Structure 1
Amino acid sequence: MAGGLGGADTAWAAPGTDRSEVTGLTVEHRTDPLGVDAERPRFGWRTDSAVRGRRQLGYRIRVAGSHLSPYGEIVSAWTVRDGTLHYRAAVPANTTATLRIPAAGPDAVREGRTPLSRVSGVEFAGFADGTANYRLPSGRYELTAAQG
């Protein structure tokens, strides 16, 4: 799957017009990692600024990847904002996907206002240890998952 870390947004303490940037993005000490199998992955980055004394106050991590399969493009991307996971997926025509997504409960995963388990064609496969499991038919999905 191509991709890896999609980027990081930062909040800065010192005002200014310089071009501050985030560089050296890693997960588990690897750049562009594939198949990270860590319950609580470690993210790393450097911040570069021409303004003396500038420091980072906050961050938001976005992760994205895609793969061009023989059936079409597979997309998986997420970010967390205000305690809610925002997840975007594309499942190619004539295929299905298994989705395992952390959530506060089975009905916490939604497409719009609808619980994902009630979306036509989606099969709810269970909830255990803070993770909801689904089988997704082909299509594009914009999901949210409230975190516990």
Structure 2
Amino acid sequence: MTQPTDMELLDAFLSQDDRLTHSGMMLSDCFAPSQFELVFEYGTVIQKSAVRQALIACVSLPVLEPGAETPPRNITFEKHLENLLLHALRSIAADEWVPRPERAAASLLVEAAAMRKLPHLGPSTPAPSVAPFLEPVAPVPKFLVRTDY
């Protein structure tokens, strides 16, 4: 028996009926194909394997009835998959060996995930900073900063 490819697993996961997820958002709004593509292209072997196993776990769950409450197992597996993706995307965004456009894309996807976790804002409420939701980054030592431009 052959194992499904990463893209086959991704297609099976993303082609599920759109439904509410653990975060209260629709499945199609929570997980973007570009997140998985970046992880499968630039993630470490362990990160790729972890995301692949999480996809297998999510796809192997029973199909939910429309309008039914999301079972705890689905919630746990979806949270686990989201956390694995975000961890891998953070490391891709910080990896100097990854091409700059892909690092920028990974960084934007991490920031978008942080924005989704913010409480819903009304039209007159100013948007809060996402800084509390981002991981701290060590400052760059002054001797590494180029000032002779």
Structure 1-normalised TM-score? Answer: 0.24
Would you tell me which structure has more strand in proportion to its own residues? 1
Would you tell me which structure has more helix in proportion to its own residues? 2
